[in-house]
Chain A
Amino acid sequence: MESFMHQFFQQLINGVSLGSIYALIALGYTMIYGIIKLINFAHGDIYMLGAYFGFYATTTLGLPFIPAIIFSMACAAIAGIIIERIAYRPMRNAPRIAILITAIGVSFFLEYGMILLVSPQPRTFPAVFSATVYNMGPLVANSQQLVILLSSIILMAVLTYIVNKTKAGKAMRAVSFDADAARLMGINIDRVISTTFALGSALAAAGGVLVGVYYNSIDPLMGMMPGLKAFVAAVLGGIGIIPGAMIGGIILGVVEAMVSGFLSSTFRDAAAFGILILILLYKPSGLLGKNVREKV
């Protein structure tokens, strides 16, 4: 029994740190979906790009951790804006499925373009700070996990502030509520969408750098699975709802850690998708979502 509790709390620690990374990626998904109703399949690859920007910032430019993460976020934000500009903006009035295919195309392009540029071999992410191991009774947490948790909390707080208190945030909320009405009120929708892509991509990039620090290894295809899972997290919390993405991410991370701790790590991915199916069947609007009645 004691070993069970020990294992449980240990996996809880691992799960929360993994989950906060999912939450960072899920935030971008949820914001972009909220604003242009697009499942941005390329979002997971922005996270991969972020990890590479962070990698080059620390190795080539020799930046310490915090400037590196900011550099990576800035680069990814620009990448996000460019992608939206080139691939999604001309499709604003196209059928939904065509935009989805474009998103899949962009995702492939980023993945295989990066393979072409930096080779498919995984890179070792440099240790940006010394790893200290903290023992709390029988439980173990390391400094990476604390940094991940702390950075995610700070970033989410900043995002919440931007969305709720600033003018740009107000415009974002207005566009996601009703784009046509927002346009009539004089909001420049294109600019708001660009801002959303920039913010979402920056958060994903931060997640990428943190994962690089945590697992010490990055590769061009690292974004595929976390991207899909972050989408699951966004749906779990209620898509389009920002606190929902945070909660969804953490829950998903914890469940995954529990499944790999108590069952087998091969079932980890199945667990994530299992949650997705259950939530879609019983509460499709997500944990924090409200039911919207369908009108004809």
Chain B
Amino acid sequence: MNPIRKFDLKALVASVIIFAVVQGLILAEVIGPFWELNIILICINIILAVSLNLINGYTGQFSIGHAGFMAVGAYTGAIITVKLGLPFELALVVATVCAGFLGFLIGLPTLRLDGDYLAIATLGLGEIIRICILNIDYVGGASGLMGIPRLTTFAYIFWIMIAIIFFIKNFKNSALGRCCLAIRENEIAADTMGINTTKYKVMAFTLGASFAGTAGCLFSHYFFLAHPASFTFMRSFDILTMVVLGGLGSMTGAITGATLLTFISAYLSDYPEWRMVIYSVTMIVLMLHRPQGLFGSEELSRKMFKFGGKNNGRAAEGR
């Protein structure tokens, strides 16, 4: 068995164990409703962070409009289950496809831009999506779409999350993913080497957007409603922060970032007035002391602990 497959198998066994333990604790009611909600949120945030990492971290295209795609997923999913009365599985698929299609439509023209311009364009598009939804009465307009059944369970969300993580990991290690990495390192050089940069940028963007749609659908089917105010640029910033905190271009970094920030928010929810202040100070201090994020662009591994100093140096110099 080659080392990659062996690693996959180990990861699969580990996730089965984690799933069994958490699910057991939830069934045994050791984990109360508050923490169950936060565990679901962590899973949603991990999906969002990992999919944004595909765009921002692997392909190097700076997008901050992720909440817009999440909104599309949340609303299309809700339309399928609430308005049309079709099953949840279909809603998940349609939400993913719709968000991905929109990502394709948006990505095609905007990905010609780079750096800050792309960032601000995606931010604007995310807001435009939200404002359009706000003005559609069919989905409830400003008061949001209510009465969505709670169909998202921990089992659903956990296995979808694992599937997406595996998909993105394999995508990164495939020929397609290597093209994306080449574009991140140097777009002009990649172009010269015969890589169709537009194609791969749009591909990464479409995939990222569609997974954000999945996350949105899971989100609206856990919290009973889809509300335009849940998908402002604040949420896009949140997702971006998770990715950058963990280290851009690091899958384990994105997962850690999402978990850590959701935990911080959850712990601080007892002090609502201090919550955002502490959150923002944490963000600033972390960026001041570790601008490359917790893991840099490295993956969490045993090697990292052995040669910690050396790796950190390389990561800092890299990006």
Contact = CB atoms under 8 A, between A and B. Distances in A.
Chain B contact residues: over half helix, strand or loop, or mixed?
Answer: helix
Nearest to A268: B131
B277 A98 contact: no
A97 B62 contact: yes
B4 interface: no
Contacts of A87: 284, 288
B277 A109 contact: yes
B273 to A, nearest CB: 5
A235 B117 contact: yes
B127 interface: yes
A146 interface: no
A98 B248 CA distance: 10
B124 interface: yes
Contacts, number: 118
A101 B287 contact: yes
Interface in B245-286: 248, 273-277, 279-281, 283-284
Interface residues of B, number: 43
A243 to B, nearest CB: 20
- For the residues of A in contact with B, the DSSP-based class is helix
A51 interface: no
A235 B240 contact: no
A240 to B, nearest CB: 11
A39 B115 CA distance: 11
A280 B287 CA distance: 29
Nearest to B245: A101
Contacts of B116: 33, 37, 39, 96
A270 B277 contact: no
A90 B127 contact: no
Interface in B163-215: 188
Interface in A10-42: 33, 37, 39
Contacts of B127: 228, 269-270, 273
Interface string A82-117: 000001001100111111111011111101110110
A112 B276 contact: yes
25 contacts: A33-B116, A39-B119, A95-B291, A95-B292, A97-B62, A99-B291, A101-B241, A101-B244, A105-B287, A109-B277, A112-B275, A112-B276, A112-B277, A115-B273, A228-B123, A231-B120, A266-B131, A269-B127, A269-B131, A270-B132, A274-B124, A280-B110, A280-B121, A281-B110, A281-B113
